[in-house]
Amino acid sequence: MTDGPLIVQSDKSILLEVDHPRSADARRAIAPFAELERAPEHIHTYRLTNLGLWNARAAGHDAEQVVDTLIEYSRYPVPHALLVDVAETMARYGRLRLVSHPTHGLVLEATDKAVLAEVLKSKRTTGMVGARVDTGTAEDAVLVHPSERGHLKQALVKLGWPAEDLAGYVDGEKHPIELSPTTKPRTPAEQPKDWEMRPYQAQAVDGFWHGGSGVVVLPCGAGKTIVGAGAMAKSGTTTLILVTNTVSARQWRDELVRRTSLTEEEIGEYSGARKEIKPVTIATYQVLTTKRKGVYTHLELLDARDWGLVVYDEVHLLPAPIFRMTADLQARRRLGLTATLVREDGREDEVFSLIGPKRYDAPWKDIEAQGYIAPADCVEVRLTLPEHERMVYATAEPEDKYRLAACAPGKNRVVERIVAQHPDDQVLVIGQYLDQLEELSDHLDAPLITGATTVRERQRLFQAFRTGEISRLVVSKVANFSIDLPEASVAIQVSGSFGSRQEEAQRLGRVMRPKQDGRTAHFYAVVARDTVDQEFAAHRQRFLAEQGYAYRIVDAEDLDVVQ
């Protein structure tokens, strides 16, 4: 028995003692394969899942490494049955392989005849596979029609036998793209600067390219767009980039023009405002999922060119119809970019099977330690509701409780006090409910950006915030993702999408761009005590706790002493 920080249990749960001197090392070591479930003050609970172990396997971690990590950091002997189960679960990945055979075309190969027999017996694979063939390199094999490549991978993950996709990709239409060693100025006054990819960005590109398709996980502010540009330069082909909104599309365009050989004339925007198809086309998820008379009218974009690469920005936010479209894009290289693979709808297995497994993952604290993102101080400010508001809340219908708690009027005063403590900082106030945000905008005399704000006005306000013309900005969930505001150093969250972990990570990410003076970023979550607002806050914080961020909890009445 060793004095380790972990207690590994036979039900696949892992308890981490937060105050243990080796807890930070243990957290980093288990991050590639274990998912955090609960994060109270002293003991965090992780869980081993099949998908987590398969993602680790696809990212290059083998069962021996996982087993050694559990044994090294465990306080008590690790249950032998669990170690066996870890090894056997990870060994399931790759027992089935999709390959391109020179004679037979697309084939599902098996290194184990019984495994193939089992999946062929399932109704999930009915109609997806053809006759048995002899490939000369496998125990057993069956033909697969190319149109079923994605659907079959989905089915096999559900059956617990994920296929390793080695079938390769079409080359796509060639288009020269190179990274520029010097940035191109945004304005006549800006000077060009020499730059190169950060080591972890280069590793992420190499990990993706070696794997063929898959997901790169990097913290907000760590330069995921640069990873996308690096993958495009590797590919040297026409590229379709799918993004969350039009503002994000234009930020991608500007960054590609600054850091690559691409010109504005080579980059098209396919959004609600424009319908341009060029060698590099940036499309919004919204326009692709727009239906008219029950038909997705813009699907022709997927076949408009012989794309060599498809990039999915913020892959954790992919709408369900995009998954269905992606099932038909399996012959194209696919790169997913995200700060967290967490999906609140539980469709992580769809990302795994259709975009690809995790190819690179950099813990937030590691990137922070290298100075590439700002250190962050996270504070949960708990507000006690007045007696009459507590009574209204207590007697409200269940579906109304969260809004009542999240929009408690006392939060306005708390926000004003927090803002007053940061007179020299660029402050973002972020929330979910428009009437609450309108009130805060009035109270703080700060501009408000919502989904109804035009793209032109959003860009104007974001630019004014970047230059310091305005120092406070109130934003709805439209600013959760893909908004580059490096000057923001304080974020105050007043309400959110219930218990969304990925939203919490995105919102913290708004203030994590490194500051020129090395300042710490501050993230405040204002929460109504003894309500579902407090319960949802605990759930939202799970992912960030997994990354090593601890929330200090302070009472709203004690804010004046918080620095």
Which DSSP string corresponds to 396-450? S-HHHHHHHHHT-THHHHHHHHHHHT-TTSEEEEE-S-HHHHHHHHHHHT--EE-
Contact 430, 472 (CB under 8 A): no
- The percent of residues above 90 in pLDDT, for the chain, comes to 55
563 — pLDDT class (breaks 50, 70, 90)? very low
Considering the domain architecture, whether residues 504 and 476 belong to the same structural domain is answered as: yes
Burial 63-83 (b: 16+ CB within 10 A, else e): bebbbebbeebbbeebbeebb
CATH number of the domain to which 270 belongs:
3.40.50.300
Q: Which of 473, 482, 334 lies closest to 415, judged by CA?
A: 473
Number of CB atoms found within 10 A of residue 162's CB: 25
Q: What is the pLDDT of residues 493-550, one digit of tens each?
A: 998 876 577 777 777 777 878 777 778 889 899 999 999 888 888 877 877 776 777 7
257 — pLDDT class (breaks 50, 70, 90)? very high
Residue 1 belongs to some domain of the structure: no
| Cα–Cα distance for residue pair 53/123, rounded to 1 Å | 26
Considering the domain architecture, whether residues 256 and 307 belong to the same structural domain is answered as: yes
What is the token pair recorded at 204?
Answer: 């992420």
pTM exceeds cut of 0.75: yes
Kindly tell me if the per-residue pLDDT of 1 is higher than 70: no
What letter represents residue 369's amino acid? A
Residue 186 belongs to some domain of the structure: no
Considering the domain architecture, whether residues 298 and 353 belong to the same structural domain is answered as: yes
Q: What is the pLDDT of residues 198-228, one digit of tens each?
A: 999 999 999 999 988 999 988 888 889 999 9
| Cα–Cα distance for residue pair 400/534, rounded to 1 Å | 15
Pairing state between β 129-132 and 140-144: antiparallel
Query: Who's near 67: CB < 8 A, 6+ residues apart?
Result: 78, 83, 86, 87
Q: Which of 160, 489, 504 lies closest to 316, judged by CA?
A: 504
Tell me the average pLDDT across 482-500: 77
Ramachandran region of residue 475, left (φ > 0), alpha (ψ -120 to 50) or beta?
A: beta
| Cα–Cα distance for residue pair 120/289, rounded to 1 Å | 33
Of 92, 117, 148, the residue that ends a domain is: 92
Considering the domain architecture, whether residues 426 and 545 belong to the same structural domain is answered as: yes
| Cα–Cα distance for residue pair 499/343, rounded to 1 Å | 11
| Cα–Cα distance for residue pair 149/537, rounded to 1 Å | 40
Residue 523 belongs to some domain of the structure: yes
Residue 180 belongs to some domain of the structure: no
Beta-bridge partners for 377: 522
**Start-to-end Cα distance in the chain:** 42
Q: What is the pLDDT of residues 363-414, one digit of tens each?
A: 788 888 888 888 888 898 999 999 999 999 999 998 899 899 999 999 999 9
Between 507 and 269, the more confident residue is: 269
Residue 342 belongs to some domain of the structure: yes
Residue 152 belongs to some domain of the structure: yes
Number of CB atoms found within 10 A of residue 479's CB: 23
Query: Who's near 553: CB < 8 A, 6+ residues apart?
Result: 379, 380, 382
At which residue do the structure tokens 């980093």 appear? 28
State the pLDDT at residue 481. 60
| Cα–Cα distance for residue pair 534/127, rounded to 1 Å | 49
Of 310, 333, 367, the residue that ends a domain is: 367
Tell me the average pLDDT across 487-498: 84
Element (H, E) at 225: helix 224-235
Considering the domain architecture, whether residues 16 and 52 belong to the same structural domain is answered as: yes
Considering the domain architecture, whether residues 474 and 327 belong to the same structural domain is answered as: no
Q: Quick one: three-class SS letters along 441-460? A: HHHHCCCEECCCCCHHHHHH
Domain membership of residue 132 as a residue range: 96-161
Number of CB atoms found within 10 A of residue 11's CB: 8
Contact 12, 1 (CB under 8 A): no
In three-state secondary structure terms, 183 is coil
Between 121 and 319, the more confident residue is: 121
What is the token pair recorded at 58?
Answer: 């696809």
Q: What angle do CA 504, 541, 510 make, to 5 degrees?
A: 30
Cα dihedral 460, 461, 462, 468 in deg (nearest 10): 110
Considering the domain architecture, whether residues 352 and 399 belong to the same structural domain is answered as: no
Considering the domain architecture, whether residues 438 and 547 belong to the same structural domain is answered as: yes
Please count the structural domains in the chain. Answer: 4
562 — pLDDT class (breaks 50, 70, 90)? very low
What letter represents residue 405's amino acid? A
Residue 440 belongs to some domain of the structure: yes
Considering the domain architecture, whether residues 494 and 353 belong to the same structural domain is answered as: no
Strand order in the sheet with 448-449: 448-449, 472-475, 426-430, 488-493, 521-528, 376-383, 551-555
Residue 184 belongs to some domain of the structure: no
Q: Which of 117, 144, 110, 116 lies closest to 128, judged by CA?
A: 144
Q: What is the pLDDT of residues 163-175, one digit of tens each?
A: 999 999 999 999 9
In three-state secondary structure terms, 185 is coil
Number of residues that make up the chain = 563
Tell me the average pLDDT across 184-188: 77
At which residue do the structure tokens 């341009």 appear? 276
Between 560 and 90, the more confident residue is: 90
Number of CB atoms found within 10 A of residue 464's CB: 14
Pairing state between β 105-110 and 96-101: antiparallel
DSSP structural state of residue 371: T
Contact 507, 430 (CB under 8 A): yes
Kindly tell me if the per-residue pLDDT of 561 is higher than 60: no
- Give the chain's radius of gyration (CA, Å): 25
At which residue do the structure tokens 């965090």 appear? 44
| Cα–Cα distance for residue pair 55/217, rounded to 1 Å | 12
Query: Who's near 175: CB < 8 A, 6+ residues apart?
Result: 236, 237, 238, 239, 266, 279, 280, 308
Tell me the average pLDDT across 293-317: 85
Contact 106, 149 (CB under 8 A): yes
Sign of torsion over alpha carbons 143, 147, 150, 151: negative
DSSP structural state of residue 25: H
What is the token pair recorded at 218?
Answer: 């990097």
Considering the domain architecture, whether residues 213 and 360 belong to the same structural domain is answered as: yes
Q: How far is CA 524 from CA 386, 437, 474, 490, 521, in A?
A: 21, 16, 14, 8, 10
Between 244 and 550, the more confident residue is: 244
Of 322, 338, 367, the residue that ends a domain is: 367
What is the token pair recorded at 375?
Answer: 């250190």
Considering the domain architecture, whether residues 60 and 146 belong to the same structural domain is answered as: no
Considering the domain architecture, whether residues 357 and 462 belong to the same structural domain is answered as: no
332 — pLDDT class (breaks 50, 70, 90)? very high
